[in-house]
Structure 1
């Protein structure tokens, strides 16, 4: 099974192009944090999308925006000046935009957290609380038959 799931930030604006047949394709790269790295290591993953997905990526995603991608890993072999090379791309099946369209690139503008609650319930008067605790069952009227 060949399934890749990534969440990261775009390292550059996506390149939206159209092939000879008129089909759209988009190339972009995601910076994906390594989960268990103490040094904050990042992997840069090349991605390619086709069709309507490529058009949406080209229209809405920009450098620094967070996105989730699912797809397949594809190995490409090619030759440059007689030297054999290998590269890997993720062929994108689906993409999720993980930030709102108008959010600044690189993260949300979130309001600061206020640890003080807006409403604090009043504390019961200790004298009143004692009165309720001291009541006996015979002090309560039997209004209900059960």
Structure 2
């Protein structure tokens, strides 16, 4: 699924010390309603362990992200003694779909540490994901040539060329 965060991720830790972040993803539907407007679905999501910490550090309200995972239904008894059922997406992997320069930081984002590059994190299974700089797609980008605005020559040795 691809969508925008409706709020900053909420990072918590379990009693065993495992990180867990919860967030809601607004996902546009592919069709328009009778007024010609696109409706959105709001998907509750949860992500675990190191991926949760990375997700919380590198995303904020309005961030465009791609996720994959599985649906999970759980239940619990609330304070009134009623059984409550919750269906949510357990995120296995995520990718940042905007470059850092395309995002407008919120107040909470300005205080977060930056390592200077995009990051797509590790999935819940611990596998390293590709760097977001390699996987992001910028829908607002008007020119697909990254060197079009650069009038300086590019210094590349013949050994670096694939042909």
Return the TM-score normalized by structure 2.
0.59
Kept in 2: contact 1:16–1:24 (CA 8 A)? yes
Rounded to whole Å, the distance in 2 between the matches of 1:52 and 1:88 is 23
The 5-angstrom pairing of residues 118-137 of structure 1 reads: none
User: Which 5+ residue runs of structure 1 have no aligned equivalent?
Assistant: 1-5, 113-146
Q: Give a deviation string over 1:53-92, Cα, whole Å, max 9, x none.
A: 1011010000001000000100122233233332211011
Say what the alpha-carbon RMSD is for the aligned residues.
2.3
Corresponding residue number in structure 1 for 2:113: none
Higher RCO, 1 vs 2 (CA within 8 Å, ≥6 residues apart): 1
Rounded to whole Å, the distance in 2 between the matches of 1:37 and 1:76 is 32
Corresponding residue number in structure 1 for 2:22: 27
C-alpha deviation, 1:29, in angstroms: 0.6
Q: Are 2:15 and 1:16 equivalent residues in the alignment? A: no
Rounded to whole Å, the distance in 1 between the matches of 2:81 and 2:87 is 20
Out of 1, 7, 14, the position equivalent to 2:2 is 7
Q: Which moved more, 1:89-98 or 1:33-42?
A: 33-42
Q: Are 2:31 and 1:36 equivalent residues in the alignment? A: yes
Rounded to whole Å, the distance in 2 between the matches of 1:68 and 1:47 is 12
Kept in 2: contact 1:63–1:105 (CA 8 A)? no
C-alpha deviation, 1:46, in angstroms: 0.7
Kept in 2: contact 1:71–1:93 (CA 8 A)? yes
C-alpha deviation, 1:103, in angstroms: 2.0
- The number of residue pairs the alignment matches comes to 107
The 1:16/1:102 distance shift into structure 2, 3 A limit, reads farther
Rounded to whole Å, the distance in 2 between the matches of 1:67 and 1:53 is 14
Rounded to whole Å, the distance in 2 between the matches of 1:26 and 1:101 is 21
Rounded to whole Å, the distance in 2 between the matches of 1:105 and 1:90 is 26
Out of 47, 50, 59, the position equivalent to 2:48 is 50
Out of 65, 72, 88, the position equivalent to 1:67 is 65
> Radius of gyration: which is bigger?
1
